[in-house]
Structure 1
């Protein structure tokens, strides 16, 4: 990490392949460093020249007098490894490789990239790239990039932005500049042969001048590092706002279990974001909306209540609809608040929430100012949005009003100014007043702020439990593939996972004896190391009330399994006691290649992959996290009881999720997948009636 700091804030920079032509790729960074006023030493390196841009030009890195912190490499791909060897001999700790022609070009390029990465590792150099636009540290005027973004102003500000895409990242940076959002850092990680997006984010978030971190991500390699980033950012009180592409089907492939199918790459990433209290944005505009909201707020909301003050009744309804869609509340204001508003708002306005002040406030600015202050003083309101439109002739008055409101309240508020002039936007942003182009973007940003505030409270309260998590190691059998049902039951049962009683039987006679021991009614299921989904081969019979029914069921499931899978090894059947529950859930475990063990919880049964109503977290989880997973489910109302049914014992479900997640964490990477489906939940508790375990 020290070498990454040298990359981001170097005291001296060498540019290998430097050109005096500031229009060329290998000349732009030198031009930018000179034009933007970088204060450190700049050392052009190119054996073709004695001087470049008025600076002494050296034939190679080792000819440079004195130490160098960062080398910018702008030479053909085949010369990069040699350049890094020279940098290593010089003792340079960090390098940015602009050069392309590596992993993005196929196998030959990947082989060359591996050589470059190995050279950097052997020489102790932290490498950004190759195939990167480079970086900007606007505080110290380190313009180590050839991006066209640097052609314009690069004002320092409280936002750090790290992107895996060069072109799209440049577009986002340009949009941020247009909004007046100062990027203290702009870093493109390129092919990530060494330094990855997570490491850079961790370095950037540690800078006390950064208040908000934003990132554009296409894929991750370091799940544990990502979780540490979340912890470090939360401890520092700095929101992390991420846009990740590949939301649908990104790496999710059908596996032996439902978990393998549903807990795909994007679902696991999303779960890690939620677990760490980070914020996921839908796209670049949504990301910048959220970033803008955070840069302009001095306090976080203490609850989910949203107060809406508008110039238009229709706009108020639109925002109220969106707020409720996002799970926020738009409370009816207290009677005393409405009484106070009635003395301020015209009689043809509205005082309930949304509050419609009409256009009357133009004649009397006190109407808007006092209305907003009164709404924010209501104890049910925790954050406000002010909506207005046009008002070209009243910019100074309105901006002044917003400053007065901020001085009189401790609660945060956003401004939605539809069709605002450039002058209005500039003056609001100069005063750190977050301003949005439409009602829904403003509400979406408010929801992100409220969600982050809730995450801070949750994680602070749950920190002792998180620290205390220490799952014991689990000894797994040596075999690979499907684990026999009873052996899997022993492992899960020892971990505290409640399962229905089960017995193995090789033939109808043993099955009848097992049923009599368990007590009728029972279920009979085919047992085969080659059949993962028993129902798909007609291998399950339920509710068998006597010995004759059991005998017939054993014959039937074996015959059906052989008909569907003549190649399968049929070992016998499993006889289980029948169980009851009002809701069918699925609890799944999986070893993710990036994040390691993860746990999934959702609504299960045979339609689990149709409903796709699940929540995912890195394992292990605490009770608070497990309950939070249940609250994420779209069908969570089913757990509270519907159509006269009693509510499910949520605490019992949470205990099962915790036990299963601890088992996954203790088992290690050989535990490929576990499916508990269905898990029957009701007011009396929870029990898994079918389970599947796969080992690597």
Structure 2
């Protein structure tokens, strides 16, 4: 995927020699800390301090310039004041260095974008890769390489399958520290800083191709090339490498903070949420989400992920059953019915106030009959509709989980289905907790959190089974102009298969009446004039005109409005009145992901649902996938359950396909269709607006 594959990125993580430019004595400065961390971690390669002020540093000869080193080092870490960085990087290129890490700040985040462009030009000139500026470096735990000044290098890091890449140095360090405290081992860690050359996507691409990486965590401010993120996300599904992402900087204030931090600006949170969902990347919403996800994704191997969203629940509390059922609805996790024979078996062991239906309320009897869990769990998890089991226990939970754990482990091994244990109240001791983790059992305190993580696991499995057909290339825009009047836009749209409402244009009252009679009552009368985009703000729309008298009155009124507002060349647009379910369809050329289409409820539903029922579709897209997007989410639920039955989704797909082609053929940045009226036979465009 990378255009610069001639330089193996893997060597960034395993440099045979390192120069530290800006090295200094002791650990007080960052330059001294870098060499200290390399020594602390028993780096096996050669370290070259570079600083003209010293003859020797840290027990090594110190060089005045990297050009004085006889054998060019594989990598150089530049820790100099910003004005000195460019010259130092150029010398690295002249010396034949393959990788340069720039820890210095004071570039794009302060408005010095030209400096970053110059760094990129140097990298291209010398066929060299640059990480940073404003990067905290690289850690490769299995190889004991800590090429960084981050304080996380002080930790006794365990080597395992987690890989972290962050555009924020501080948050990247926090992610690594949290993982270490949770006992989760790390393989690789990188903070990319301002990304003058190497980007988060470059590092992410390396991670998903590394067979020793089990799962990846990223902190994203902006990715730049959203279509490449699609490619990497799909590749991660192929390699079985889950990616968890905390996306920041979506609010107005968040965007300002991001720009002051690294100089980046990103697309909207809505677009990112859709992009991550479509590529199977699990979106995190907070640091606590990251902590919770670590528990599931580090404890379970990928083959143990649930095959589907069907969850069986065994609980000691009716209240917990209700809480879990609510969480399942919120996070898209199913509570399938159990077979009749299984429910009968459960009922035999429960008092009347228990429940044998899923979620199963075993009541306090689970505390007095320690064999009960052994007896029933196997029948429940073997049910064909069940993909995972949640065992929720209370204050004395460890007492009855401990004797049942061998049964739990045997069931996991036999069925291949995950079992999650929730201790709400009584937390297990270290021995029991470690034993559960060692046998692949995630453990939580909050059942809602457990349900959410089971949903993440099941969603990732489903995306891997059915990856979306995402367009890797942004289509080339045509030269069609959308700045014409209604008649021009309607004609162009119709030619692309769009169902446009029948209409007439006139400049007189009598002409309006003639048009209404030709179209057939009822009609809508609108004011139309060059440059007039938002007709409703002027009161320029009259709907449901059913008689000649109503049409004349509407025409008189709208022509008076045009005169009052100084609208020259005003016309009246008379349209056939179409009643049905109204949708708003918008098209936007986003900075990072290219053209997207947003479709959501219109009319009376706009305020009711706001953006929560709006679907984001990346263009171009396949017909069947577009249909799935319109019917599979909350918008589809609204279409299925509205008062107007049998709405034609096929007609809506036809119209949206035509509108998408219409938009792509244009060079406009924004285009809105409001509304598209959906009936049992048609999806009719009533208004078009280009920005």
TM-score normalized with structure 1 length: 0.88
- Report the 3-state secondary structure (helix = DSSP H, G, I; strand = E; otherwise coil) of the residue aligned with 2:304: coil
2:175 to 172, 175, 178: 172
Q: Among residues 602, 605, 608, which one is paired with 1:604 in the alignment?
A: 602
Q: 1:264 to 1:160 in 2, by over 3 A?
A: closer
Q: Distance in 1 between matches of 2:662 and 2:305?
A: 37
Match of 2:623 in 1: 623
What's 1:686 paired with? 683
Residue-pair matches, total: 670
CA displacement 1:654-689 (0-9 Å, x = unmatched): 33333333443444xx22122111111122231121
Q: Deviations over 1:585-641 (max 9, x none)?
A: 111111111111000011012763662331112212223432343346545433114
Q: 1:237 aligns with which of 237, 240, 257?
A: 240
Q: Does residue 379 of structure 2 align to residue 374 of structure 1?
A: yes
- Cα distance change, pair 126–507 in 1 and its aligned pair in 2 (3 A): farther
8 Å Cα contact 1:215/1:243 also seen in 2? yes
Who is 1:258 aligned against? Answer: none
1:420 maps to: 428
Corresponding residue to 1:672 among 645, 669, 672: 669
Q: How far has the Cα of 1:444 moved from its partner?
A: 0.7
Q: Secondary structure at the match of 1:136?
A: strand
- Looking at structure 1, the residues matched to 306 and 606 of structure 2 have their Cα atoms a distance apart, in angstroms, of 36
- Supply the distance in 1 between the matched residues of 2:65 and 2:28 (Cα, whole angstroms): 23
Query: For 1:679 and 1:663, how far apart are their aligned partners in 2?
Result: 15
Please show how residues 508-523 of structure 1 align to structure 2 within 5 Å: 508-523=509-524
Contact 2:227 2:472 in 1 (8 A): no
d(CA) in 2 for partners of 1:663, 1:442 = 45
- Alignment partner of 1:31 out of 29, 36, 56: 36
- In structure 2, the gaps of 5 or more residues are 257-265
Q: Closer, same or farther in 2 for the Cα pair 1:368/1:100, shift >3 Å?
A: same
Shift in Å, 1:53: 2.7
Deviation, 1:488, is: 1.5
Within 1, Cα distance between the matches of 2:633 and 2:17? 52
Aligned pair partner of 2:18 in 13, 16, 19: 13
Change over 3 Å in CA distance of 1:543–1:348 after alignment to 2: closer
Query: Do the aligned residues in 2 keep the contact of 1:482 with 1:532 (CA within 8 Å)?
Result: no
Once the two structures are TM-superposed, the CA of residue 156 in structure 1 deviates from its matched residue by 2.1
Q: CA 1:212–1:496 in 2, change beyond 3 Å: closer, same or farther?
A: farther
Taking only aligned residues, the RMSD between alpha carbons, in angstroms, comes to: 3.1
Contact 1:373 1:409 in 2 (8 A): no
What is the match of residue 125 of structure 2? 122
Offset at residue 394 of structure 1 (A): 7.4
Residues 65-124 of structure 1: CA deviation (Å, up to 9, x unaligned) = 3343321111111111011101111222221111122233x33x4454444344334333
Q: What is the match of residue 145 of structure 1?
A: 148
Flag the 1:84–1:353 CA change in 2: closer, same or farther, 3 A: same
Equivalent residue number for residue 652 of structure 2: 653
Q: 1:368 to 1:570 in 2, by over 3 A?
A: farther
User: In the alignment, does 2:91 pair up with 1:86?
Assistant: yes
Indicate the residue corresponding to 1:538 in structure 2: 539
Distance 1:560 1:633, change over 3 A: farther
**Matched residue, 2:576:** 577
2:67 alignment partner in structure 1: 62
Greater CA drift, 146-155 or 308-317 = 308-317
Q: Which residue of 1 aligns with 2:637?
A: 637
Q: Aligned-pair distance for 1:193?
A: 2.5
Shift of 1:346: 7.5
Listed one character per residue, the Cα deviations across residues 27-59 of structure 1 (whole Å, up to 9, x for unaligned) are: 222222222233333332223334333334332
**TM-score, normalising length from structure 2?**
0.89
Residues 660 and 314 from structure 1, CA distance in 2 versus in 1: closer, same or farther, beyond 3 angstroms?
A: same
In the other structure, the counterpart of 2:260 is: none
Q: Which residue of 2 aligns with 1:452?
A: 460
**1:434 and 2:416 are equivalent in the alignment:** no
Separation of aligned partners in 1, 2:594 and 2:663:
9
Mapped to 1, the partners of 2:357 and 2:279 lie a distance apart of: 36
